[in-house]
Structure 1
Amino acid sequence: MTEQTSQVQTFHVLGDIRIDQPPERVFDCVTDLAASGQWSPECGGGTWIVGAAGQVGSVFRGNNHREPTVVEWAPVVRGDWSTESEVVEAVRPEVFRWAMRDSAGNTQESVWSYEISADGTGSILTHRFWMGRLTEGMRGIMADMDPESEQQFISDWGAKIAGDIGETLRGIKTALESGSPK
């Protein structure tokens, strides 16, 4: 499911940054799951469990950690946990997009992506999150909320995601321009 085909939009958050590296190098960096923990404030890295890096249909497990102070009033997962995601689009060096899976292994309308475009001798990297219908996890978080609390949670969670996206982009830029990722 993509944002173009859903009639619902819960979140659409994105950010971009210019990186002084060619698109191919940026693509290789953002598809290196093991290294993603170097720049993400929540994802500690990941491993491929079906298929291979950068291939549509491949599945990976992401290892995550969330501090107790993140939207602390809401009943979100804290500490360590993992997710499974399926690659839904991969075109080197332009786009790497994955959808979160539910507990039955079905993709949900929760899609993350990196989109890369050439910019002179460098690249523009866009990191995007889109959610259509609420995911299994979000339905659980919001199950006991009244409508006002639901709206507050969507607002607070959107701000948290925007902050994470910005931090991730700055981390990728620093890693690539310092030469630390492979």
Structure 2
Amino acid sequence: MPNSVMTDIDIDAPPERVWEVLTDLAAYPRWNPFIVRAEGTPAPGARLKLRIKSSAGWSATNKARVLDAVPGVVLRWSARLIPIPGLAAGRHEFALSATETGTRLRHSEQFSGALVPLIGKLLVKTERDFRLLNEALKKESENA
């Protein structure tokens, strides 16, 4: 079973615009099909409260800590997927890089913990959710 998910998408908007959309957490309910609600400030050390709704039919509310937030470059956080330490956690990342026509987004998550091998099938389905989020971010960023 995989312990990570990695997706890429090209967006026809500059990294600054993609960053603006990505870090406007209050707007997530309007455009984001996977992280349907987000509260907090995307700044290093800050805490986020994230409501996740998977296309596979499950949902969860996670509390995350922002590890990195470099405007136009990277937003990274860590969260326990199960509230008990050591069972299942994820390190989520949105990495932005400029291209000739806009931005390349690499959207990934690295999973760790004792239960990851047991919940691997759910993690495989997470790739679909990441792709849906990526497409929605692309649309929102390009429609400025």
TM-score (normalizing by structure 1): 0.67
Matched, 1:88 2:76: no
Identity, % of aligned positions: 25
**Aligned mate of 1:56, from 20, 36, 44:** 44
The equivalent of 1:5 in structure 2 is none
Does structure 1 conserve the Cα–Cα contact (< 8 Å) formed by 2:2 and 2:124? no
User: SS at the partner of 1:64?
Assistant: strand
The equivalent of 2:18 in structure 1 is 26
**Aligned mate of 1:163, from 125, 128, 136:** 128
- Residues 15-60 of structure 1: CA deviation (Å, up to 9, x unaligned): 1111111111111211221222344433211111xxxx33110001
Unaligned 5+ runs, structure 1:
1-8, 71-77
TM-score (normalizing by structure 2): 0.82
Letter aligned with residue 69 of structure 2: A
**Aligned mate of 2:79, from 93, 100, 118:** 100
Q: Which stretches of structure 1, 4 residues or longer, exceed 4 Å deviation after superposition?
A: none
RMSD (Å), alpha carbons: 2.7
- Larger gyration radius, structure 1 or structure 2: 1
Letter aligned with residue 95 of structure 1: V
Unaligned 5+ runs, structure 2:
none
- Residues 90-137 of structure 1: CA deviation (Å, up to 9, x unaligned): 11111000000464799x741111000000141101110111224xxx
Matches within 5 A, 1:1-182: 11-48=3-40, 53-66=41-54, 70=57, 78=58, 81-101=60-80, 103=83, 109-134=89-114, 139=115, 150=118, 153-154=119-120, 156-179=121-144
> Greater share of strand residues, 1 or 2?
2
